[in-house]
């Protein structure tokens, strides 16, 4: 079977399944399974598929057409120019979250002590550790499935991030940490209503990574109240927030005694990060 025909068929299947970037995704699947970039087929249409691999490719195509995330099929995804293993049980790093990394880098001095709460794949923690000179970064995650990705991603990136298996809402956990210059978090923030209207692909990601209580604000309230005690005087707390949540999160930080509270927009002009200083 010619790879060109397989590629055309994959595009057709994904298009009729309603996959928005069907051509791009068909190309990534082809490359993942057969190790060939689609543009090469334009100059050599006769390259044939390894018949032993075709059934796995077909199964993956079917899964993707059923809404299963492409990133879980590929097993790896890029964030802030770095590779991360992903799969069932861990949230797929989103480009929106790079806004949090950028905000943290703008606020940081040299040799900061940083704690990343709700670390998941470790994308934020690793990106900060790799890009801020002398940063000492701790990454806290409570899901065992996600934690194993966190550990593997630290290794994959030869990073010095320290992984901590623990519940960020458990006050006793705080005892094990020295005071930080910055506490960053992209916590679960979807509300009851958001959970009813999940995009098909997101439904395959762990609920514990998504649900932030009835109004989506549980983690913002509890993390800011608890973890401000672990900030050095003048230290910053930074949160990623969902669409339309920036105002509420600014108010939460204000009521917890933070000052110089600001929101930073992502590339789509959406207020995506909220941060404040604790004196
Ligand atoms: C929205 S995901 C963010 C993951 C990652 N930081 C990112 O930006 O891609 C939230 C993460 O918080 C973790 N989590 C949920 N509740 C937690 C808790 N009580 N303690 C620690 N981690 C928790 C979930 O398992 C999930 O990995």
Q: What is the DSSP string of 109-161?
A: -SS-EEEEES-TTSHHHHHHHHHSTT-EEEEEE--HHHHHHHHHHHHHTT---
In a domain, residue 79? The reply is no
Same domain, residue pair 169 and 204: yes
Pocket test for ligand 1, best of 92, 98, 208 (most atoms within 8 A of CB): 208
Is 186 a pocket residue for ligand 1 (Cβ < 6 Å)?
yes
Same domain, residue pair 43 and 142: no
Locus of tokens 């996959």: 19
CATH number at residue 206: 3.40.50.150
The DSSP 8-state label assigned to residue 25 in this structure reads H
Same domain, residue pair 255 and 217: yes
State how beta strands 231-240 and 180-185 pair: parallel
Is 99 a pocket residue for ligand 1 (Cβ < 6 Å)?
no
Average pLDDT over residues 122-126: 98
Same domain, residue pair 115 and 221: yes
Is 173 a pocket residue for ligand 1 (Cβ < 6 Å)?
no
CB atoms within 10 A of CB 225: 14
In a domain, residue 72? The reply is no
In a domain, residue 251? The reply is yes
In a domain, residue 201? The reply is yes
pLDDT at 45 over 90: no
Number of domains in the chain: 2
Is 224 a pocket residue for ligand 1 (Cβ < 6 Å)?
no
**Confidence at residue 89, expressed as pLDDT on a 0 to 100 scale:** 97
CB atoms within 10 A of CB 260: 12
- Residue 216's H or E segment, with its range, is none
Average pLDDT, the chain: 97
pLDDT digit string, tens, across residues 214-258: 999 999 999 999 999 999 999 999 999 999 999 999 999 999 999
Same domain, residue pair 42 and 149: no
Q: Is the pTM of this model over 0.85?
A: yes
**Beta carbons of 139 and 151 less than 8 angstroms apart:** no
Q: Which atom of ligand 1 is nearest to the CA of 188?
A: 1
Distances in Å between the Cα of 11 and the Cα atoms of 6, 18, 39, 65, 98 are 9, 11, 14, 10, 29
Same domain, residue pair 12 and 95: no
Same domain, residue pair 154 and 187: yes
Average pLDDT over residues 130-152: 98
Same domain, residue pair 191 and 253: yes
Is 93 a pocket residue for ligand 1 (Cβ < 6 Å)?
yes
**Confidence at residue 42, expressed as pLDDT on a 0 to 100 scale:** 82
pLDDT digit string, tens, across residues 145-195: 999 999 999 999 999 999 999 999 999 999 999 999 999 999 999 999 999
In a domain, residue 221? The reply is yes
Give the whole-angstrom CA distance, residue 6 versus residue 209: 35
State how beta strands 113-117 and 180-185 pair: parallel
Which range marks the domain in which residue 134 is found?
90-278
In a domain, residue 75? The reply is no
Same domain, residue pair 59 and 97: no
Give the whole-angstrom CA distance, residue 261 versus residue 273: 11
Q: Which atom of ligand 1 is nearest to the CA of 169?
A: 19
Same domain, residue pair 100 and 195: yes
pLDDT at 44 over 90: no
**Confidence at residue 119, expressed as pLDDT on a 0 to 100 scale:** 98
In a domain, residue 81? The reply is no
Is 188 a pocket residue for ligand 1 (Cβ < 6 Å)?
yes
State how beta strands 162-165 and 180-185 pair: unpaired
Is 142 a pocket residue for ligand 1 (Cβ < 6 Å)?
yes
Same domain, residue pair 134 and 187: yes
**Confidence at residue 41, expressed as pLDDT on a 0 to 100 scale:** 86
In a domain, residue 270? The reply is yes
Beta bridge partners of 140: 117, 164
Same domain, residue pair 127 and 29: no
pLDDT digit string, tens, across residues 91-101: 999 999 999 99
Of 25, 51, 66, the last residue of a domain is 66
């Amino acid at each position: 079977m010619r790879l060109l025909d397989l590629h055309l068929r994959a595009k057709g299947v994904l298009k009729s399944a309603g996959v928005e970037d069907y051509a791009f995704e068909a190309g990534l699947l082809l490359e993942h399974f057969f190790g060939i970039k689609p543009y090469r087929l334009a100059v050599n249409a006769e390259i044939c598929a390894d018949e032993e691999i075709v059934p796995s490719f077909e199964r993956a195509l079917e899964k993707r057409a059923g809404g299963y995330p492409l990133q879980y099929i590929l097993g790896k995804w890029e964030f802030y120019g770095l590779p991360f293993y992903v799969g069932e049980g861990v949230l797929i790093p989103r480009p929106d979250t790079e806004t949090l990394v950028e905000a943290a880098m703008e606020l940081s001095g040299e040799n900061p002590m940083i704690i990343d709460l709700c670390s998941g794949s470790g994308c934020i923690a690793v990106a900060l550790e790799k890009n801020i000179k002398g940063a000492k970064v701790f990454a806290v995650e409570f899901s065992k499935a996600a934690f194993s990705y966190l550990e593997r991603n630290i290794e994959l990136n030869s990073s010095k991030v320290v992984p901590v298996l623990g519940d960020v809402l458990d006050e006793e956990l705080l005892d094990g940490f020295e005071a930080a210059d910055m506490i960053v978090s992209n916590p679960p923030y979807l509300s009851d209503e958001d959970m009813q209207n999940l995009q098909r692909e997101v439904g395959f990601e762990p609920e514990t990574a998504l649900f932030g209580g009835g109004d989506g604000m549980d983690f913002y309230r509890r993390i800011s109240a608890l973890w401000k005690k672990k900030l050095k005087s003048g230290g910053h707390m930074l949160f990623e927030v969902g669409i339309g949540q920036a105002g509420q999160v600014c108010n939460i930080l204000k009521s917890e005694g933070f000052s110089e509270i600001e929101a930073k927009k992502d590339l789509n002009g959406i207020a995506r990060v909220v941060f404040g200083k604790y004196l």
